[in-house]
Structure 1
Amino acid sequence: MDNTALCYRQFGEPESVLQRETAVKAPLQPDMLRVQMLLSPVNASDLIPITGAYRHRITLPAIAGYEGVGRVIAAPVGFTHLLGQRVLPLRGEGTWQQYVDCPAALAIPVPDTIDTLLAARAFINPLAAWLMLNLWPVEGKRVLLTAAGSDCAILLGQWALRRGATEVYGIHRSAIHADRLRAMGIIPIAQQESDSVRAIAAASDVVFDATGGELAQTILSAMRNSAAFICYGLLSGQPFSLQRHFPPMHWFHIRNHFDALSPQRWQTAFTEIWPLLAGSHYSDARLLPFSAWQTALADYRQAGRDHKPLLDFTCDTP
């Protein structure tokens, strides 16, 4: 079986180092599923590792992509009931390829009620939001989000309100996000309105930050010592320095929590996430053929983007 994948053999900007490569797929190993991919999104978490930011845990050559949805075409004994079913082939190989092998016990079956476009984006951002709200409860608290138009932030905001947050504020860079945030119950704050940002930061109990850089520094300098600041991304590409008078600061990396999730707990997490996700606002999706991956990356980098580009493998599968 021939398999086409987006590979990188050195670290660098994804547009420069990614290449489509076709090779014979290795035989399926015991206890593994083989999944024919349908859709896979483009996320920051897909692109940042390609640059070499996490080179200490990546062995080259590597296949890009961390999430997506596909259909099971081969399964070991005990999992044959999954043949023909849609699953999330997680924690195995890179997902930007036509065929993905993943541990059978960790593949997440997709309920029939969940649309394929939604299922393709049900891992990185939903699981991160779910884990963070479990780790830092928000009931009775005022919550502040940065990069509020991003997929993870809009889920954090909606689910925080469901969990009893008194108010959720969302800092956004592009005005295109303001109306969307209001419709979700999130109070929009323009990032360039520095006085408003400082005032809300000073009154917030929990901050979930995805940007880092100058904005994180501004928020931290205004926060009370009794508040909590959780950094789960550096979309600005800029670090920030901590000072003694700042409130407690916590780093969240989703990968650090995988080992604590047994296969049973892993499956249970998604039984909780599916209904939450189905009942939430999420960004629109834009499908682009797998062969047009460069266009998908350019689309992802558009300022003020209000949709998620997805690689569509059904256009390329022989």
Structure 2
Amino acid sequence: MDNTALCYRQFGEPESVLHRETAVKAALQPGMLRVQMLLSPVNASDLIPITGAYRHRITLPAIAGYEGVGRVIAAPKDAAHLLDRRVLPLRGEGTWQQYVDCPAAMAIPVPDAIETTLAARAFINPLAAWLMLNLWPVQGKRVLLTAAGSDCAILLGQWALRRGATEVVGIHRSAIHADRLRGMGIVPVAQQDSDSVRAAAAASDIVYDATGGELAQAILSAMRSSARFICYGLLSGQPFALQRHFPPMHWFHIRNHFDSLTPQAWHAAFHDIWPLLMESQYSSARQLPFSAWLSALADYRQAGRTHKPLLDLTRDNP
């Protein structure tokens, strides 16, 4: 069968180096599922590797995309029960393509009650939030979030409150996020309000930071030495320096935890995550046809965006 994928053969800005390529799909290997992709989101974690930030672990040419949902169209005998089921094809190929092959043991079945637009976004951000809250518990603590309007942060905030955080404060850049955060029980603070940012940092017990740069530096300089700072992203594109008096800082990269999770552990994680997602507020979704991938990337980069662009891999025309 022919398969169309968004590939890159060199590192650079995604809009410049990504190209749609069509080729015959290789024969399905033993123990693998073939999944016809339905929807795949655009995330920072999809775009940053294309720039070459992680070139030491990427072999070119490569297919973009790290998550999405699809329907199983071919399976080995011991996984025949998955045929025609919606699954998350984890630890397989890049997901910005029509057909993805993945290990049968790593395919996460999607419950019938989960909408496809939600299932497409159930991996990277939900699993990251779930793992961070397990690694750095928040019960009885005051929590501070940066990039609070992002998908990962809004789940971190809601799930932290469920786990007994006494308060969650969210720093946001666009005023459009303030009412939305309040509706989730998260106290909004404008990033431009430097006095309020410093006050929130000084009162926090644990910070989950996705921005880095000057904001991270300002927060760290105001925090108590007994607090904890977890950096899980550098959306600003800027690093920050550490000084001796700063509180303990921890780096979180979700991919560093993949190899330590057995198939049983993956399935157990999603046993927890599915009901949490159903009970949480999440960004709305905007579907764009696969052929409009450039528009999807432009949509993702819009300031103040409150939705998630999804590539519809089944649709090639507007």
TM-score, length-scaled by structure 1: 0.99
Aligned counterpart, 1:145: 145
Q: Quick one: distance in 2 between partners of 1:314 and 1:50? A: 23
Letter in 2 for 1:233: G
Q: How many residues align?
A: 317
1:214-293 aligned at under 5 Å gives the runs 214-293=214-293
Of the structure 1 ranges 139-148 and 252-261, higher mean CA displacement relative to structure 2 is found in 252-261
Query: What is aligned with 1:159?
Result: 159
In the other structure, the counterpart of 1:10 is 10
**1:45 aligned partner:** 45
CA distances 1:172-210 after superposition (whole Å, capped 9, x unpaired)? 000000000000000000000000000010010000000
1:29 paired residue number: 29
Q: What letter matches 1:201 in structure 2?
A: A
Distance 1:265 1:8 in 2: 32
Q: Residues 7-48 of structure 1: CA distance to partner in whole angstroms, max 9, x if unpaired? A: 000000000000000000000001000000000000000000
Tell me, in whole angstroms, the C-alpha distance in 1 between the residues paired with 2:123 and 2:111: 14
- Counterpart of 2:84 in structure 1 is 84
- Alpha-carbon distance between aligned partners in 2 of 1:314 and 1:17, rounded to the nearest angstrom: 23
Q: CA deviation at 1:316?
A: 3.0
**2:132 aligned counterpart, secondary structure:** helix
Give 1:260 shift: 1.2
What is the root-mean-square deviation of aligned Cα atoms in Å?
0.7
Match of 1:56, SS state, is: helix
Deviations 1:255-297 (A, max 9, x none): 0001111100111100100000010000000000011000000
Classify the secondary structure of the residue corresponding to 1:196: helix
Q: Which amino acid in structure 2 is aligned with residue 165 of structure 1?
A: A
Q: Identity of paired residues, percent?
A: 86
What residue identity is the alignment partner of 2:18? L
Matched position secondary structure for 1:314: coil
For residues 79-110 of structure 1, the C-alpha deviation after alignment (integer angstroms, 9 at most, x for no partner) is 00000000001111000000000010000000
C-alpha distance in 2, partners of 1:60/1:315? 27
The answer to whether structure 1 residue 171 and structure 2 residue 171 are counterparts is yes
| 3-state SS of paired residue (2:77) | coil
Structure 1 SS opposite 2:100: strand
TM-score, normalization: structure 2? 0.99
Secondary structure of the corresponding residue to residue 285 of structure 1: strand
Matched to 1:269, the amino acid is A
2-structure distance, mates of 1:223, 1:70: 44
Q: Partner amino acid for 1:155?
A: L
